[in-house]
Structure 1
Amino acid sequence: MSETSLHPRVEQALELYGMDRSEEALALLDRRLAEAPDDHEAWTARARCLTSLDRPAEGLDAADQALMLEPEFADGHFMRGFALRRMNRLPEAELSQREAIRLAPERWGPRAQRAEMLIFVGTKEEALQEAQEAVRLGPDVVDTWHTMYKVARFNSRSDLVDESLRQLLRIDPTDQLAVATVTHREVRKPGTSAARAADLYAGALAAAPGSEWLRSDLDKAVYRMLRGTRWLALLCLVMAAVTVDVFPTGGGAKELPVHLGTRLWALALMAVVWGFGAWRRYRRLRTGVQLAVFALVRRSFWPRVVLGQATWATLCALLLVALPWTERTVPQVLFWLALVPNLLSITHDRDKVR
């Protein structure tokens, strides 16, 4: 803002804007402009609020009104460029930010905005130079490091990308971009299991609870875990089929019913499979992941399908070994009833949770 003091209503409106209450701020500014239509600070604040409310054309009109009253007002040029950028008029927006830099070279905001636009309307070198200058002027501001991160990625400068992430986490350990990016890097390491990925995403969400990106990735990791239970169920089904000798080969078919001790041993092995393959792993997950499992199953269709298929296959396996079958027709039917539904969906339901 300019060196002159702001009217109290404009100050209050900017405070409301900072609290994401742009509608209330806009109403306050309209009252101020009704009594003082020549207040260029109020017009600029109005441009800020309108642009944040996804009304950039009106925001541009407000910024133009401010510049008609005060042509050398740096914030007016800044907001004009900001509104033009939202309207995808990048060459004009870049010129407005350049004018704001001329009038207020010590401010990081116009430089950060211009650096991001130079990615599209300038050169890599220009964008990087402007981003570095923005960081120099605002070394403890997350916005400048967000800009540096974007420009560094555009320039394929992994060293500056890493530095941007370090600085973002230093300034704000809950920064969504930094937390999500660092977590994704950890998850993408070879050998990371679905349970480990879910645990990492849950930990990241605890640090940045507002990140929809992380929440979506947590859902995907949990879904991968649920799909894994289906393989445990199929393993139990195969164990049961072998125990009962559902499909005898050659002339050495087992005599039915299978001995009780053999069937009890198979049940014990199935309990071990589920105990170590699912239950023990689930109990060791952080509470956030456990809650995510229940939440995803409640609200999404395919996780319920996957869990239902695993439950059905396990139930059929239990019936195969728990009952003393004297003939093989029914056990064979149970086997196919458990196996076929899983095989029909297991190859194409990988990405059903997005």
Structure 2
Amino acid sequence: MTAVHPAVERAEALIGLRRYDEAGPLLGQRLAEDPDDIWAWVMLAQCHLGGEKEADKALEATERALALDPGHVGALIQHARALQAVGGRFPETEGVLREVIRLAPEYWYGYALLANWLFRIRAIAFGRANGGEVTREAMDRFLQESAELAQQAIRLAPEEVFGYEVAWLIADMGGNRTVADRMDQAILRLDPNHRQALARQTEKAAAAPGVKATEAATLYADALASAPDSAPMQQGLDDASYRLLRGVRWLAVLCVGLAAAGLDLFATEGHTPRALPLPLGQRLWDLVPMAALWAVGALLRYRRLRTGVRYNLRSVIRRRRWPRIVLGQAAWAMLCALLLTQIPWTERTVPEIIFWAGLAPTAATIWFDRRRST
């Protein structure tokens, strides 16, 4: 095997860092010195595909490389990628990748890339022959063909993530959640910080029946610790934080109910209502169960949350409108509860108005936004 020129090696490293604007001139200089350097042409094609997506230039570079060696596997791979990027020539990639498999039957990437594209190629051809419509039966057949190729890639290279990614996509397209979950688990074993797989598995766990808001928030916080820039995980944590905040309205509504009970606003028949105004000691005592509700239902619960979840609760209040609305409603209901308990009322007409003013808007909104996210 011909040694790779140091300039090409440097360019390859720059491409790996996505510094295409530096790799391109370096490869151009190398090809000016030696236009028969196949790897330089291959890397130049990869550079064109990775930078500004200059597919035509990439295709020209791969054609120059294949003119020098028609059986060069690296050139064939880049040629297939260039054909995929050039409009209208995607179906040609199948023949190129099958040639890769013929020349290098133990090379896993040829199988994986063909598996990733084959069902699409088949669907395009079927759609063109049937007025643009692809039947479910036909699609399942195409996916099965691709799945077999993906499994071959996994058998040849069980440590490579891309094969499992392709297998997940095929299973997801076919609606096979069992296989898709198994592929996600395999991906996360190889790459615990894989963003897409981590997001999918976290969302699945957080949405499972019986998972409370606190548990969901913890799951999303753990996922963000591994993938701090994941927008889906941040959205999931925001939604779970909002679910936590919605709970404070229930505490406020319960306090309004306790205040109404203390005033006997809705005494039943045969029951003699308490004499008004209530003594100061009774009014102060009515604050005790409310304080206990908030201490256990809000303060203690908040202190038990993960640090990241607590930070996000404060953050989501600053960033989102509905969390602020929720807190405003809880504050309004608590204000009504305090008015009911602490003012020495001599009759019950005004307290009844205050009770409904504190209860009705909050209860109605609890019902309205029970499915709302942030």
The alignment status of 1:47 with 2:67, answered yes or no, reads: no
Aligned to 1:5: 3
CA distance in 2 between partners of 1:29 and 1:318 (Å): 76
Show CA shifts across 1:94-152 (max 9, x none): 33322332333222222111112233334233212111111122111111222222233
Aligned to 1:143: 162
Aligned to 1:79: 78
What SS class does the counterpart of residue 5 from structure 1 fall into?
coil
**Superposed counterparts of 1:68-217, under 5 Å:** 68-85=67-84, 90-122=90-122, 123-155=142-174, 160-217=179-236
Question: Which amino acid in the other structure matches residue 4 of structure 2?
Answer: L
The alignment status of 1:279 with 2:299, answered yes or no, reads: yes
Identity within the alignment, %: 43
What SS class does the counterpart of residue 121 from structure 1 fall into?
helix
The alignment status of 1:268 with 2:291, answered yes or no, reads: no
The alignment status of 1:241 with 2:260, answered yes or no, reads: yes
After the TM superposition, which of the residue ranges 257-266 and 281-290 deviates more from structure 2? 257-266
Aligned to 1:323: 343
TM-score normalised by structure 1 residue count: 0.85
Change in CA separation of 1:330 and 1:44 when aligned onto 2, cut-off 3 Å: farther
Change in CA separation of 1:300 and 1:85 when aligned onto 2, cut-off 3 Å: farther
Q: CA deviation at 1:161?
A: 3.5
Show CA shifts across 1:216-262 (max 9, x none): 21111111112222222222222223323456676955432223344
CA distance in 1 between partners of 2:347 and 2:320 (Å): 40
Aligned to 1:295: 315
CA distance in 2 between partners of 1:350 and 1:211 (Å): 26
Change in CA separation of 1:180 and 1:316 when aligned onto 2, cut-off 3 Å: same
Show CA shifts across 1:177-224 (max 9, x none): 333333233223321101111111111222333432222211111111
CA distance in 1 between partners of 2:22 and 2:292 (Å): 60
Cα pair 1:66 1:76 within 8 Å, conserved: yes
Structure with max Cα Rg: 2
CA distance in 2 between partners of 1:308 and 1:352 (Å): 17
Question: Which amino acid in the other structure matches residue 230 of structure 1?
Answer: R
Aligned to 2:326: 306
Q: CA deviation at 1:16?
A: 2.5
CA distance in 2 between partners of 1:227 and 1:114 (Å): 49
CA distance in 1 between partners of 2:281 and 2:359 (Å): 26
What SS class does the counterpart of residue 303 from structure 2 fall into?
helix
CA RMSD in angstroms comes to 3.1
Unaligned runs of at least 5 residues, structure 2: 123-141
What SS class does the counterpart of residue 286 from structure 2 fall into?
helix
CA distance in 2 between partners of 1:295 and 1:41 (Å): 51
The alignment status of 1:230 with 2:243, answered yes or no, reads: no
Change in CA separation of 1:212 and 1:21 when aligned onto 2, cut-off 3 Å: farther
CA distance in 2 between partners of 1:91 and 1:247 (Å): 76
CA distance in 2 between partners of 1:286 and 1:240 (Å): 33
Aligned to 1:67: 66
CA distance in 2 between partners of 1:291 and 1:128 (Å): 44
Cα pair 1:56 1:84 within 8 Å, conserved: no
Cα pair 2:168 2:184 within 8 Å, conserved: yes
CA distance in 1 between partners of 2:315 and 2:223 (Å): 18
